[in-house]
Amino acid sequence: MTLIECNALTKKYGNFTALSNLDLQIESGHIIGLLGPNGSGKTTLLKLITGLLQPSSGTISINGEPVGAASKSLISYLPDHTYLDRNMRVRDAMDFFEDFYQNFDSMRAYEMLAQLAINPNHKLKTLSKGTQEKVQLILVMSRRANLYILDEPIAGVDPAARDFILNTILSNYDENASILISTHLISDIENILDEVIFIQNGNLHTHASVDDLRQKEHKSIDTIFREVFKC
């Protein structure tokens, strides 16, 4: 079943074209790596899908519906920075998600907090940046969403935290759901990906199955990426 469909999707910032005429279809039940160098348009694409940006032209549909309040209830989005009010306690953030998302599993979220020894009564601003990111990931992955959009979930955290994050992603998502992960750290996530999308200068370069690409090129995705985007 098609989860995301982009037709001739274009986004311009003034004279700069961040995404150009992008046609893309993403099916349910896959983990997809959205890969590309800095400024290639990855974050722009994710923000268009989540409704944080409006396309200059073209269309996007989520489960056949245009982006709106209904599509937002299907998507669980982790941006590349902290988006919670830092004066909130961790418990307040849990209550917030529980109130707004019917598919939020608070028991699971509290279990994950306990595993990481994060005190729910602590204010977010008293936690380290890495711990704040973990809290945010726990919130996002504790939803039973149809689509998880994770923008650079492992950037800026130590290798041990990366393992936790990847483990959290893998052990918490529903198999019928899809995960779209944007990252530069390909070698760390390569093994969990079903598909990859390469974006270059706002254009779709490659959209293929990871296994097919590896078999065809006889190289790892990381190596292919380095060759495609060689400076």
Partner 1 sequence: MLRKLLKHEWKSVNKVLLPVNLCIILITIVGCTVLNTDIFDTEESWPIALFLLIFYVLSLMTFASITLIYIYVRFYKNLFTAEGYLMHTLPVTPIQLFHSKLIVGFSWSAFNCLLTLFSTAALGFSAIVAVAKEENIDHISRFFLDDPIVNNRNQTFSFSEMFGYPPATFLILILLLLLTGCLVSIIMGYLSILLGQLMEKHKLAASIGFFIVIYFFMQMVTSIAILLPNSNALVNAMDNDTSVYFMNIFYRNLFPASIISQIILSAAFYFASCLLVRRKVNLD
Interface residues toward partner 1, by CB under 8 A? 13-14, 47, 50-54, 68-70, 72-73, 75, 77, 79, 81-85, 87-88, 92, 96, 99-101
Question: Which CB atom, from 33 or from 55, has the smaller least distance to partner 1?
Answer: 55
User: In whole angstroms, how close is the CB of 81 to partner 1 at the nearest point?
Assistant: 6
User: In whole angstroms, how close is the CB of 31 to partner 1 at the nearest point?
Assistant: 21
User: In whole angstroms, how close is the CB of 206 to partner 1 at the nearest point?
Assistant: 27
Q: Are 196 and 206 in contact (CB under 8 A)?
A: yes
- Burial of 207 per CB tally in 10 Å (0-12, 13-18, 19+): middle
Taking the CA atoms of residue 47, residue 50, residue 54 and residue 60 in that order, the dihedral angle to the nearest 10 degrees is: 110
Question: Which CB atom, from 124 or from 213, has the smaller least distance to partner 1?
Answer: 124
Q: Are 213 and 67 in contact (CB under 8 A)?
A: no
User: In whole angstroms, how close is the CB of 85 to partner 1 at the nearest point?
Assistant: 6
Question: Which CB atom, from 73 or from 209, has the smaller least distance to partner 1?
Answer: 73
Percent helix, percent strand, percent coil in the chain, to nearest 5: 40, 30, 30
Question: Which CB atom, from 14 or from 159, has the smaller least distance to partner 1?
Answer: 14
